[in-house]
Structure 1
Amino acid sequence: MHDSTLELQELDARIAKGKLHSILVVGVLYWGMLTSLIVALINYFIWDDSFGVELQKALCIYPICGILFGWSAWVQINHRRDKLRANISNR
């Protein structure tokens, strides 16, 4: 199969999971929680701040920002799929 057809199938599979999955799982859970952990570890090792306090602060900020990240990822996935479909149909 052609690479663009495989990419289109992958994008369709991600879109089939839904917008809520993209926002909550990709944005909040994966991006937000992982970013919170990384920021708390950086603050702990570099500035010698309390890991627990830094993690609490980060968990208030980054999962909320993850909502925007997940929504942005959803928009980008749909845009790539539409562009790819247009390119395939023009062949």
Structure 2
Amino acid sequence: MDDAALELQKLDALLAKGKMYVILVFGVFFWGMLVSLMVALIHYFILGDPFWAELQRALYIYPISGILFGWFTWVQIHRKRDKLRAQ
């Protein structure tokens, strides 16, 4: 099995999990939570703001933005799968 076939199989398995799975897991949980933590740490170390207050504020903003990131990821997965199928 070549690399393209293996990658196509992985993409199909990911798409089989559904749009909401990709948006929630990759967008909200992975991207949103990680960015929230990084922003809170940056504000804490550079600006001296209280960490927990910054984290609380970031957890309102970035997971919601993660919905858009997750949707974009879903679209990119579809494009990549279609491109691999066309080959």
Do both proteins adopt the same fold according to a TM-score greater than 0.5, normalized to the shorter chain?
Answer: yes
- d(CA) in 2 for partners of 1:3, 1:52: 45
TM-score, L = length of structure 1: 0.93
Q: In the alignment, residue 21 of structure 1 is paired with which amino acid? A: Y
Matched, 1:82 2:85: no
Q: Please say which structure displays the higher CA radius of gyration.
A: 1
Q: Which residue of 2 aligns with 1:6?
A: 6
- d(CA) in 1 for partners of 2:46, 2:13: 41
Q: Percent identity, aligned pairs only? A: 67
Q: How many residues align?
A: 87
TM-score, L = length of structure 2: 0.97
3-state SS of paired residue (1:85): helix
- d(CA) in 2 for partners of 1:3, 1:12: 14
3-state SS of paired residue (1:14): helix
- Calculate the aligned-residue CA RMSD, in Å: 0.6
Following TM superposition, where does structure 1 have runs of at least 4 consecutive aligned residues deviating by more than 4 angstroms?
none
